[in-house]
Structure formats: structure tokens, C-alpha cells
Structure 1
Amino acid sequence: MIIDFSISPFGKGESLSRYVAEAYKIIEDSGLTHEFHAMGTNIEGEWDEVMSVIKACRDRILEMAGRVSISIRIDDRKGVSDALSRKVRAAKEEMR
């Protein structure tokens, strides 16, 4: 499963890098395959693993901000592993 998610606190101004850094530490410490990008983070893993990471990020940002918005998109394909790098590689090959 690949998820793409973003998490943002409400009412904390325009600069969110402090909150992004806190969430990223949690993602990094999870040991799951992930890819950080300008609008969020992709994480690959099993349902319970990925949702546990999202919950930990939510809990941490709620401690800091009191209110949080989370957007999640999920690509869940049975029997597929290493999908994150495989999807990117396949798209790049089509661009040649």
C-alpha cells in the first residue's frame, strides 16, 4: 500500500516548517519506505503500519497546535511490494 498524506495545523500562521519537521521525524523513525515532497509525504507499508505512523504524526501535531487537518490518498494493491519506487520507475521509462 502507498499512501500520500499531508498534515497541517490550524491557526499557526503561514510558516509550517516546524510542524513538518516534527511529523517527518516520526515518519523517518518508523523505518517505512517514504518519499517527502513539497505537498506531503508518500509512505509505503501495510495498513496498520502506515496508519500507526499517521496517528503518531496527528498526535504530535495536536500536542503542538490543538487542531489539525489531514489529507490522505491511498493506493492499495493486493500482492504488490516495492510499489513506490516501481511506480516512479515505470513512469520515467514511459517518458523516454
Structure 2
Amino acid sequence: MSALVEFAMFPTDQTESKSAFVARVLDLVDRSGLPYRLTPMGTIVEAETVGEIFALIEQAYEDLAEDCNRIYSAIKIDYRKGPVGRLEKKIASVEEKLGRKLDA
């Protein structure tokens, strides 16, 4: 199985800039050992199950809740039977059809 989950999470009761809070969440993602890709609008994480990623998201909520009273998040899920590795394969498939490598 392969779960790709894109999520964005940040407090709404803190400063205008959210990068310090996003960095805290991204540190948790990085330490999870799961493959991920940071984008300007969120982070995409891949795992064998949605549950693995939900556990990571719950951990991020707990971390931010220590000093944030209100936390916003948006979550998109692409769950598919088959092996993991789609985080890279989906991009490679589009690049192949374009006949060139996309800028990261």
C-alpha cells in the first residue's frame, strides 16, 4: 500500500509569519524517517499506511499545542494499492511525458 498525504499546519493565534512553526512541524516529519517533500504550500509525506502519517500529524498537533491556542490544518490524501515510492515516481512520470526534468 502507498499513502501520499499533503498537509499544511500552522497556528492562527501567533505572529504573521508562520515559518518558525512550519519548521517545528517539518523537524518532526524529518525525524520520522518517512520520505517527504516540502513545498511552498505544504508538505507531502509518503508511508505504507494513512495511519502512520496521521500519527505524525497528531504528534505535530501536540507539539504546536504546547504554545499555540488555535491550529489550522489542511490535509489531502492519495491512497493506492501498490508499493511505496510514488513520491518520486509521480513526478518522474510527468517529467517523462514532458521530455524534460522539472525544476524542484
Using the size of structure 2 for normalisation, the TM-score is: 0.87
1:57 paired residue number: 60
1:13 Cα shift?
2.4
The aligned amino acid for 1:81 is V
1:67 paired residue number: 70
> Identity percentage over the alignment?
28
1:79 Cα shift?
1.7
1:62 Cα shift?
1.5
In 2: Cα distance, 1:80 partner to 1:91 partner: 19
In 2: Cα distance, 1:42 partner to 1:28 partner: 12
**Secondary structure of the structure 1 residue equivalent to 2:67:** helix
Q: How many residues align?
A: 96
* Segments ≥4 residues shifted beyond 2 Å: none
**Secondary structure of the structure 1 residue equivalent to 2:66:** helix
The structure carrying a bigger helix percent of its residues is 1
Q: Is this contact kept in 1: 2:36–2:43, CA < 8 A?
A: yes
1:3 paired residue number: 5
Question: Where does the alignment leave 5 or more consecutive residues of structure 2 unmatched?
Answer: 100-104
1:31 aligned to which of 33, 40, 61: 33
The aligned amino acid for 1:78 is K
Deviations 1:32-72 (A, max 9, x none): 00001111100000222111111111111111211101100
The aligned amino acid for 1:20 is V
2:46 paired residue number: 44
1:80 Cα shift?
3.1
Question: Where does the alignment leave 5 or more consecutive residues of structure 1 unmatched?
Answer: none
What value does the CA root-mean-square deviation take over the aligned residues? 1.0
